[in-house]
Amino acid sequence: MFSYNTIKKVLFKFEPETAHNIAECGLRIVGKCKLIKNPMKKKNFINNSKLSQEIFGVTFTNPVGLAAGFDKNATMVKAMPSLGFGFTEIGTMTPKPQDGNPKPRMFRYPEAKSVQNAMGFNNEGAHKVLKNLKEVYPASIPVGVNIGKNKLTPEEFALSDYKMLIKKFEETSDYLVINISSPNTPNLRDLQNEKFITELFEMAKEYTKKPILLKIAPDMEAAQAIELCKSAINAGAAGIIATNTTIDYDLVPGCKDFGGLSGACLTDKSYAIFKEIAKELYGKTVLISVGGIATGEQAYARIKAGASLVQSYSGLIFEGPSMVRKINEELLELIAKDGYANIQEAIGTDLK
């Protein structure tokens, strides 16, 4: 009835966080209403064996997932296939409920197709999120759970926060993600050190056999990022997600001097560090690429660079609900052009 460009004009009249809340309300309705959900899924969800993969013992019907940060409280899981996503990642959630940072804390830059957020892990807390998740899990697509420490938890007790969350969510997730790379919780990125990462993943092995991945920031030197990823894998990590948002404020002229930037401004930076990590770790672990991905060509570049899966979030804001379908349609064209029978054959081809 309405094009997304029309809807976007209306949504962009609201503050970004208000627009997000409106979108969440709409997607919650979509998830509960089959008369809306099913036609949207039929239109947007690409179910083609050429895109299907088995990872972590779970089927990913297509390789494009929703990145963490959009569905913080697991309220939109049922709607995600209607947007075309092959998997979704909820969170980041913390043990205790958290209001996050003072508002305004989200900003959009339409000309740069980019977003800046300083949310600060605002979420309803592990107990409430788990209750929401139990209502929809297992879902029709794989669900990842992204976890972080509370803002007021001192660094020396951070391990306890992650332990509690791993134990709480291991039965209602297909994989878990350790988030120590958000720029919006004070000193959180200080935990991106080999000692803490090793302790964390060795601890995690004691409490779950579910795959646990490490999500890293794009703002460290490649050599440092590679060493941290190696430490995580040696200690038991099942994969690496690269990358989180960036604090390189030169990427968007006139942006705020706090929070993390995502969207098109992050494309090149995220891709560059992902390629360096993949050169070292492709074939040794599962790699997921995220950061400024909004087209099939961009997704395919990450896949050829070594990514088994890709994720998007900010692109959805600017491109709308047809974005994922278009990415997957373009991926099918690109793998056909290169003569591959399945997307798996394309993974890491730039490194072979």
pLDDT of residue 1: 53
Residue-level length of the chain? 352
**Residue 47 marked as a ligand binder:** no
By annotation, the residues acting in catalysis are 182
pTM of the predicted structure, to 2 decimals: 0.98
The answer to whether the annotation marks 117 as part of a ligand binding site is yes
Task: Say if strands 286-290 and 239-242 run parallel, antiparallel, or are unpaired.
Answer: parallel
Residue 144 counted as an annotated binding residue: no
SS3 245: coil
Residues of the domain holding 212:
4-351
Q: Give the residues across from 241 on adjacent strands.
A: 215, 288
Q: How far is CA 190 from the centre of its chain?
A: 21
245 is in an annotated binding site: yes
The predicted pLDDT at position 277 comes to 98
Pairwise CA distance, residues 17 & 10, whole Å:
14
Q: What is the pLDDT of residue 317?
A: 97
Evaluate the CA torsion angle 302, 304, 307, 309 in order and state its sign.
positive
Query: Was 314 annotated as part of a binding site?
Result: yes
Positive/negative CA dihedral, 229, 233, 237, 238 = positive
Q: Which residues partner with 156 through β-bridges?
A: none
Distance, CA of 303 to CA of 290 (rounded, Å)? 11
Is 239 flagged in the annotation as binding? no
328 labeled binding residue: no
State yes or no: 119 annotated in a binding site.
yes
Residue 120 marked in a binding site: yes
- Residue 254 falls in which region: left (phi positive, over 0), alpha (psi -120 to 50) or beta: left
Residue 48 annotated as lining a ligand binding site:
no
Total structural domains in the chain?
Answer: 1
The answer to the question of whether 82 is labelled as a binding residue is: no
Question: What is the full per-residue pLDDT of the chain (352 aa) written as tens digits?
Answer: 568 999 999 999 999 999 999 999 999 999 999 999 999 999 999 999 999 999 999 999 999 999 999 999 999 999 999 999 999 999 999 999 999 999 999 999 999 999 999 999 999 999 999 999 999 999 999 999 999 999 999 999 999 999 999 999 999 999 999 999 999 999 999 999 999 999 999 999 999 999 999 999 999 999 999 999 999 999 999 999 999 999 999 999 999 999 999 999 999 999 999 999 999 999 999 999 999 999 999 999 999 999 999 999 999 999 999 999 999 999 999 999 999 999 999 999 999 8
CATH code where residue 85 lies = 3.20.20.70
